[in-house]
A and B are shown apart, each in its own frame.
Chain A
């Protein structure tokens, strides 16, 4: 079945450590996104990529990094520079930026990161 797979589902890390969250999609979508969700805050955009080998910062990119070497994959690294990394991270994809793209996002199941 087509969809978006995020891993790991749960992750614990110590302060000062970098951690990478995986996101893979087999929907053949051009665009991929990372959102962060905190209680009572809705979803906030971290990074997005509309095409392979290109990505843009979202509203809260500081302390995060991404890469888009393959169409199917958009990993997110939470670096030690991120001051408050404990959160629920959601990866999503959409068809792309063509006129036919409705903007509808398809989400993965999320990764919950806890910093100890």
Chain B
């Protein structure tokens, strides 16, 4: 059965720390892996990684996809309290809808 596992499930860090969130997947017919940030209600899109685009960066956030070991990481450097959120990883298999992991709850304290 296809699955996606995120770790850790929760994390507390201090402002300025660097954090790494993990997402491992086991899926046939892999098409893409997406990261979302959910602060209170609607998840917002961060990155999409595919076989042809395995590394993305936007400001303090970056993400890579390891196609061989079947995992992705989301890196946040110089964390701020505004980074506090649930980070969701999701994969897409073929043309089917996204399947989400359980998320990592990140709390950044001043």
Interface residues of chain A, those whose CB is within 8 Å of chain B, are 33, 35, 40-45, 48, 58, 90, 97, 101-110
| Contact pick for A109, options B9, B42, B92, B103, CB 8 Å | B42
Distance to closest chain B CB from A88 (angstroms):
8
CB pair A42 B103 closer than 8 Å: yes
Q: Which residues of B contact A101 (CB under 8 A)?
A: 95
Q: Which residue of A lies closest to B89 (CB)?
A: A42
CB pair A103 B100 closer than 8 Å: no
Beyond A42-B6, A90-B42, A105-B98: 8 further Cβ-contacts under 8 Å?
A45-B99, A90-B43, A101-B95, A102-B48, A103-B34, A103-B48, A107-B43, A109-B41
CB pair A42 B101 closer than 8 Å: yes
B31 at the interface (CB under 8 A from A): yes
Distance to closest chain B CB from A100 (angstroms):
12
* Complex CA–CA separation, A33 to B43 (angstroms): 14
CB pair A103 B98 closer than 8 Å: yes
CB pair A48 B103 closer than 8 Å: no
Q: Taking A97-B95, A108-B42 as contacts, is the C-beta distance between A43 and B48 under 8 angstroms?
A: no
26 chain-A/chain-B pairs, Cβ below 8 angstroms: A33-B97, A42-B6, A42-B88, A42-B101, A42-B102, A42-B103, A43-B43, A43-B88, A45-B97, A48-B97, A58-B97, A90-B42, A102-B32, A102-B48, A103-B31, A103-B34, A103-B48, A103-B92, A104-B48, A105-B43, A105-B45, A105-B98, A108-B42, A109-B41, A110-B41, A110-B42
Q: Which residue of B lies closest to A111 (CB)?
A: B41
CB pair B99 A40 closer than 8 Å: no
